[in-house]
Amino acid sequence: MTKTGFFWDEQCFWHGGGNYAGMLPVGGLVQPMASGGLPESPESKRRLMNLMDVTGLARDLDLCHAPAAPTDDLLRVHPASYLDTFKSTSDAGGGELGRRTPFGPGGYEMAAQSAGLSIAALGSVLNGTHTNAYALSRPPGHHCLPDYPNGFCLFANLALAIQSARAKKLTERVVVLDWDVHHGNGTEAIFYDDPDVLTISMHQDRNYPMDTGDFADRGTGKGAGFNLNIPLPPGTGHVGYLATMERIVLPQIRAFNPDVIVIACGYDAAAIDPLGRMLATAETFQIMTRQVKTLAADICNSRLMMAHEGGYSEVYVPFCGHHVLAEMSGSKITAPDPFGDVFPLRQPAAAFDRFLEGWIGEMADAL
């Protein structure tokens, strides 16, 4: 059994969102940018692969391809009406069906390929091919509702992977931990009444979407108590993220006792990101990975799967991802953080840490 599978496809790098300047469509007083396009570009993901090639980490992973998600699997989450509208719009040259989800020709096929990577990665962990696996899925998926895409997400990649695995009787109980800087509203909505999927989202409070992600939203019906939102204040930083993991996230996962742990792995909580303000570092992501990997070894036979979500710094995302994948695989190959001397100096002061301790403690005590 190969330890870590890395699932990717060149087609996922070809997805494009049209003529944008950051989050704004070009036109009127909004000028084109030299870098062009939406923050959700292929470059941060492609540069992660470039970095792994240069350091040699790629040779310590099992690099895998996978087929696009078939219609039968897509229908496990998305209604046929949505698939038909998406496909016809894609075939007609592209457009936008939701909020902040523009796509060009072939957008449907690229999104299906992205979902297929997540489906294959989770399947490979559950069938014993890999101990753990990482899907370099693009476009991302955690904001996508069954019939309404938003936040760059066109298909609900992780939800599709989970429902595909459940249909094949590969798993019954799943934890989804989302550490993207934005609330995982799509994943939450899909499993909100499901007691066999514990969804946990730790995110910057009221970043995106601004009307979801409250701590009080705990699920409904049989799923009551099986959704957990952990909104954190801007500037939470390295210490705050690790404290949140130790005091809230890890105990909740252990108590749920899942068959597998699935992570929506966004890097936009990093210290430099155009869409987040959280001050996490590459070491933060590495240690969180170590924490979850250690827990998975203890409670679910090491079964751990991650899917790439957000993260928009072309400079820093590759180092964050490299730290995570080295930790997942146990590789000794490193890519030293070029900001390793700077970002620790920008972390919150002790007074803010004391404030944050109360913030985290209040949520922990309420569970």
Q: Indicate which residues carry an active-site annotation.
A: 143
How far apart are the C-alpha atoms of 227 and 198, rounded to whole Å?
6
Q: Is the peptide bond before 139 cis (omega within 30 degrees of 0)?
A: yes
How far apart are the C-alpha atoms of 152 and 164, rounded to whole Å?
22
Q: Which residues contact 148 (CB under 8 A, 6 or more apart)?
A: 82, 97, 98, 99
Reported as type and span, the H/E element at residue 91 is helix 80-91
**With contact defined as beta carbons under 8 Å apart, do 138 and 178 qualify?**
no
Partners of 177 in the beta sheet?
Answer: 200, 263
The residue type found at 25 is P
**With contact defined as beta carbons under 8 Å apart, do 142 and 158 qualify?**
yes
Rounded to 10°, the helix 282-299/317-329 angle is 30
How far apart are the C-alpha atoms of 244 and 239, rounded to whole Å?
9
**With contact defined as beta carbons under 8 Å apart, do 60 and 329 qualify?**
yes
**Residue closest to 226 by CA, chosen among 248, 253, 205, 265:** 253
**Residue closest to 266 by CA, chosen among 254, 256, 252, 280:** 280
